[in-house]
Structure 1
Amino acid sequence: MKDYLSIGIQAAKLAGTIIQDRIGTISTDEITQKSVSDYVTDVDVTSEKTIIEHIKKFFPSHQIMAEESSNSYQKTEYLWIIDPLDGTTNFIHGFPVVAVSIALMHKGNIVIGVVYDPTRDELFYAEQGSGAFLNENRIKVSSIKNASLSLISTGFPFRNKQYIDQYMKIFRELLYSVSDLRRPGAAAIDLAYVASGRVDGFFEFALSPWDIAAGSILIKEAGGTVSDFEGAETYLKTGHIIAGNPEIHLFLVNKIRNYFL
């Protein structure tokens, strides 16, 4: 798997250079609205093309699932799952929370994950069975067990307004139960921060596979737990995800599942 990881890292850094050069400089004629509160820029497209071309140069037979082009799931031995620019709204506004997210699925299992934050030059990566790392330093999820001391990251269901009422009830309950909540605006960063212990847990509704595939293996290899709202393994299909160190993950599952029974 080492070659796969190396190529994934190279591709992420190539895309990261494109993003860093353009953050906060996008003009309105470079922005397309895909749906309500969902945008794509020329940089998203260029970043994705760069990543795919780099991967295909080394692995031409591998299949691609990417946000801006080939975004349908295919049953295949090797599938790269790519978000070329997570946090596009942040990027447009020059808000420096953005990431490139690249994962490799082998026979249905995520085996490689790379999340690169070009604004901080922070490279998070993991390989199945080999641990998780930030810029070559091994990372672990936090050791906080008491939910009242925990810092929880989340994302608003801005593309899926049908979940707003449930989300606000959960948000309110958690606000009285944890130390505080954060909303950075890029799920790949949220998950990388869980893996590195910067936050203790994370939850969000209805994400896409490219938002969470790489981050999920980061957390697992860092000693954390990832699941759907029922505590099961369907998060790549449903997009409903809870992640955290084992104790905070269980706390979040017990809080959130009640709203989906």
Structure 2
Amino acid sequence: MQQSVYLQTALAAARAAEDVIRRYWAEGVEVRLKADQSPVTEADVAAEQAIRQVILEAFPTHGFYGEETGRTREGAEYTWLIDPIDGTKSFIRRTPFFSTQIALMQGERLLLGVSNAPLYGEMAWAERGAGAFVNGLAVRTGEVTALADAAISLGNIKSLAQGEGWARLGDIVAGVNRTRGYGDFCHYHMLAAGQLDLVIESDLNILDVAALSVIVEEAGGVFTTLDGGAIGLETGSVLAAGTRALHTLALDRLRAD
């Protein structure tokens, strides 16, 4: 299916960021801490600037919400959601589990997503109504509907691991076939490709998963917050599954009294 000009621009922006990231990966970077004590590097800032240049040259009236530069043109019909290096800690520690996340939102509806993990060797993308792709090949989620047959991956679960949430998560983990912790972009790419069946995370933000939510949904999966809510700008958690039936089972256990 033909790609829209929006998706073409997002892919071009991801490739521009990849050029920057690969250069800094080879040369090394200095690390500083932001106000929230999370790390940021020159590579994060430069990659976001590269993305910003490509997107706003193409669509100067669109809003832009970047991890490093914040929001501009609030109230615009279209807003781009950008995390130039999602997984900065992995980048700093020289592991390939980091990615560039680019999504486009019209109003409150996410239209497309690009997730590029250059050192891991995967670029995934999706556009509403056009399917999901990894490295140019169409992907589909798996068909598992029972927890006993499911492979689950856990990401950031610090807040879920407190109070009753820990017992509810434990009930799910005890009931599945296999448990892993791939994290970041990786387990969402795997979910979209049918290599995993369920992903749970309790501590993230919309810039981490906006693009990935479109990719998983266009691959046939279900992508919500841990309480079953829709993905939006205030999203802080994820329950994603390859099938509606599996998502319902996991959601019921997370909501159990």
Fold match (TM-score > 0.5): yes
Q: Measure, in 1, the Cα distance between the counterparts of 2:248 and 2:73.
A: 29
SS at match of 2:162: helix
2:188 to 176, 186, 191: 191
| 1:32, distance to aligned residue in structure 2 (A) | 2.3
Whether the aligned pair in 2 keeps the contact of 1:31 and 1:41 (CA below 8 Å) is yes
1:12 to 11, 14, 19: 14
Superposed, 1:18-37 pairs within 5 Å as 18-23=20-25, 26-27=28-29, 29-36=30-37
Superposed, 1:153-172 pairs within 5 Å as 153-157=153-157, 162-166=159-163, 167-172=165-170
Whether the aligned pair in 2 keeps the contact of 1:235 and 1:241 (CA below 8 Å) is no
The answer as to 2:56 corresponding to 1:56 is: yes
Q: Measure, in 2, the Cα distance between the counterparts of 1:109 and 1:115.
A: 18
Task: Spell out, residue by residue over 1:137-180, the C-alpha distance to the aligned partner (whole angstroms, 9 max, x if none).
Answer: 1110111222122121222245xxx5441453344323311123
The answer as to 2:133 corresponding to 1:133 is: yes
Q: Measure, in 1, the Cα distance between the counterparts of 2:169 and 2:251.
A: 13
Superposed, 1:49-198 pairs within 5 Å as 49-71=49-71, 74-157=74-157, 162-166=159-163, 167-186=165-184, 188-198=185-195
| 1:126, distance to aligned residue in structure 2 (A) | 0.6
| 1:210, distance to aligned residue in structure 2 (A) | 0.7
Q: Measure, in 1, the Cα distance between the counterparts of 2:18 and 2:223.
A: 26
Structure 1: state its 5+ residue gaps: none
Q: Give the counterpart letter for 1:224 in structure 2.
A: G
Whether the aligned pair in 2 keeps the contact of 1:132 and 1:221 (CA below 8 Å) is yes
Q: Give the alignment's TM-score, normalised by structure 1.
A: 0.88
2:220 to 206, 223, 228: 223
Q: Give the counterpart letter for 1:108 in structure 2.
A: E
Task: Spell out, residue by residue over 1:28-83, the C-alpha distance to the aligned partner (whole angstroms, 9 max, x if none).
Answer: x43324434x2111111111111011101111111101111115893321100011
Q: Measure, in 1, the Cα distance between the counterparts of 2:251 and 2:146.
A: 15
Whether the aligned pair in 1 keeps the contact of 2:142 and 2:193 (CA below 8 Å) is yes
% identical aligned pairs:
28
| 1:18, distance to aligned residue in structure 2 (A) | 2.2
Runs of 4+ in 1 over 4 A off after TM superposition: none
Whether the aligned pair in 2 keeps the contact of 1:25 and 1:92 (CA below 8 Å) is no
SS at match of 2:13: helix
Q: Measure, in 1, the Cα distance between the counterparts of 2:72 and 2:57.
A: 22
Q: Measure, in 2, the Cα distance between the counterparts of 1:221 and 1:16.
A: 24
Partner of 1:240: 237
SS at match of 1:230: coil
**Is the deviation greater in 169-178 or in 38-47?**
169-178
Whether the aligned pair in 1 keeps the contact of 2:156 and 2:201 (CA below 8 Å) is yes
Whether the aligned pair in 2 keeps the contact of 1:228 and 1:235 (CA below 8 Å) is no
SS at match of 1:44: helix
Q: Give the counterpart letter for 1:211 in structure 2.
A: D
**Is the deviation greater in 188-197 or in 114-123?**
188-197
The 3 A distance-change label for structure 1 pair 61 and 24 is same
Q: Measure, in 2, the Cα distance between the counterparts of 1:101 and 1:13.
A: 11
Q: How many residues of Structure 1 are paired with residues of Structure 2 in the alignment?
A: 253
SS at match of 1:11: helix
Q: Measure, in 2, the Cα distance between the counterparts of 1:235 and 1:182.
A: 27
SS at match of 1:35: coil
Q: Give the alignment's TM-score, normalised by structure 2.
A: 0.89
The 3 A distance-change label for structure 1 pair 22 and 178 is farther
| Root-mean-square deviation over aligned CA pairs | 2.3
